[in-house]
Amino acid sequence: MKKEIGRAVKYLDWNGKIACQDVDKHLRLDTSQISTSANCFMFILVESGGCEFNFIRRRMRLSAGEVMVFPPTYPPREIVASNDYKALGLIVQRDYAYTHTSVLGIYQSFMSTVVLEQSPKAKPSKVQFKILTDTVSLIRRHMMIPHQLTDEVISSLYSVFLYDLTACIRTHKEETAQRPRKIYIQFLEILNANFREHHDIPFYASALNISPRYLAMITKRLTGDTVLHYINERLVLEACWLLKSTDKSMQEISEELHFSDQAAFSKFFKRNRGKNPLQYRREQD
């Protein structure tokens, strides 16, 4: 799908999964060809000028050379841009964002850093910023000139983009953090290693040598979400990967993720994704 202003191609998307868009003072990110903003990750790479907007009840400013990520359900509001504002936008459908198991752990780390800093913007070096914009440009070019392996190429380039952006954020991350933030980081690390076997909050609190109530308070204060939300989301992401990328039966998947039985797994998946596992698998074929 292309949206054109003059002779320049302003918008390109690939099979409703991922889109590239030029953004300026008059042209906002368009998620309509992909999904609603509640189901998209939106990345903005500002090339010149700047803009201000509301994000999670805060007024924020984004300037040239900075990168911003908007997670699902958190789009920017009340945007005001300078006359020379120009940016590259990358819009990624939520399920497509997790199509590679190698990206899951990195994206978990990336999003936790975003949350901990309470600001999803990063200030890469000039070289890092150039690498990021070049990757988005490569994705755009492959959309414009598709071939038999375009799906694989675009998916791989998206993975490269995430790796590079994660490296930028880690590079500029503060070396020291307050104790609640350290605990939250440790919780995510323990969760990533144990989510298949342990679905209960007391396990993670015990591993951190704190009470479940204190873990709940820290997580809620820093992120606005509950501990159970993070446990469930990690389980769902792994289930989606297994359903999409393996031939394992529902029973095998439920056992691998340590549900009591297949019915419990199916009920859990439907509650968190709005459809049962078989429906999800059929849609991926």
Mean pLDDT of 176-183: 72
Mean pLDDT of 228-254: 92
Mean pLDDT of 172-200: 81
Contacts of 44 (CB under 8 A, 6+ apart): 23, 29, 62, 67, 68, 69, 70, 87, 88, 89
- Confidence class of residue 1 from pLDDT cuts 50, 70 and 90? very low
Q: Work out the percent of the chain whose per-residue pLDDT is above 90.
A: 44
Residue 268's pLDDT is 94
- Confidence class of residue 4 from pLDDT cuts 50, 70 and 90? very low
Q: Which residue has the tokens 């390109």?
A: 12
Is the pLDDT at 264 greater than 90? The verdict is: yes
CA angle 110, 100, 275 (to 5 degrees): 95
Residue 106's pLDDT is 55
pLDDT (tens digit, 9 = 90+) per residue, 108-156? 655 555 554 445 678 888 999 999 999 999 999 999 898 999 999 998 9
Fold observed for domain 2-171: Jelly Rolls (2.60.120)
Pull the structure tokens for residue 215: 């873990």
Mean pLDDT of 178-184: 82
The span from the CA of 278 to the CA of 283, in Å, is: 9
26 vs 253, which has greater pLDDT? 253
Q: Where are the domains of the chain?
A: 2-171, 179-284
Mean pLDDT of 45-50: 94
Is the pLDDT at 178 greater than 90? The verdict is: no
Choice among 37-51, 108-122, 217-231 with the minimum mean pLDDT: 108-122
CATH superfamily, with its number, for domain 179-284: Homeodomain-like (1.10.10.60)
The per-residue pLDDT of the chain, averaged, comes to: 82
Residue 227's pLDDT is 95
Between the ranges 77-86, 174-183, 201-210, 273-282, where is the mean pLDDT highest? 201-210
Mean pLDDT of 52-66: 85
The span from the CA of 237 to the CA of 85, in Å, is: 36
Quick one: CA dihedral 221, 224, 228, 234, positive or negative?
A: negative
pLDDT (tens digit, 9 = 90+) per residue, 80-108? 889 999 999 998 887 887 765 555 655 56
Mean pLDDT of 185-205: 93
Contacts of 1 (CB under 8 A, 6+ apart): 11, 12, 13, 19, 33
Residue 8's pLDDT is 41
Residue 122's pLDDT is 80
Q: Nearest Cα to 23, choosing from 55, 56, 67, 58?
A: 67
